[in-house]
Amino acid sequence: MREDSLDSGVYSELITQALSSLLGDSDGDSRALVARLRSAEAPDRLSRHIAAVVSRLIGSLDETARAEDGTELIAELISLLDRLRPGSGVLDDQLALPPASSRAFESCAPTARSHG
């Protein structure tokens, strides 16, 4: 959320530094109702937040090297997570190089129907 003012309404946003600043600059005619993040919501809400931040950052990278530079950034983040929580298994989530994504998986073995 990156606006200069907030309209009245129902929101379900994590309070970032930027949003906190907007809330602090309120004109006095409105107020924010906030609640602590519940532990049960933390994995989903926090991971979606960091995914949005990383997506925005990778999207700002030079398009010609975005996949490679983005992969490098992700590798550094995963390494940092491993240093913060050793033994968590996050290193298994490092991306293989060069960056690629699967499109399909096909069986190479003959099927029973092909011997008809």
- What pLDDT was estimated at residue 27? 66
SS3 of the chain: the string is: CCCCCCCCCCCCCCCCHHHHHHHHCCCCCCCCCCCCCCCCCHHHHHHHHHHHHHHHHHHCCCHHHHHHHHHHHHHHHHHHHHHHCCCCCHHHHCCCCCCCCCCCCCCCCCCHHHHC
| 25 and 46 co-located in one domain | no
**14 and 27 housed in the same domain:** yes
Average pLDDT over every residue of 13-37: 84
On the question of pLDDT at 1 being above 90, the answer is no
Assess contact for 96 and 90: CB atoms under 8 A.
no
Q: Which domain range does residue 7 map to?
A: 1-35
Question: Given pLDDT bands bounded at 50, 70 and 90, which one contains residue 2?
Answer: very low
pLDDT for 58-67, tens place per residue?
A: 999 999 999 9
Q: Which pLDDT score, from 0 to 100, does residue 21 have?
A: 87
| 114 domain residue, yes or no | no
The answer on pLDDT for 114 being more than 80 is no
Q: How many domains does the chain have?
A: 2
More confident residue, 61 or 115: 61
> Averaged over 73-79, what is the pLDDT?
97
48 and 86 in a single domain? The answer is yes
Same domain, yes or no: 31 and 43: no
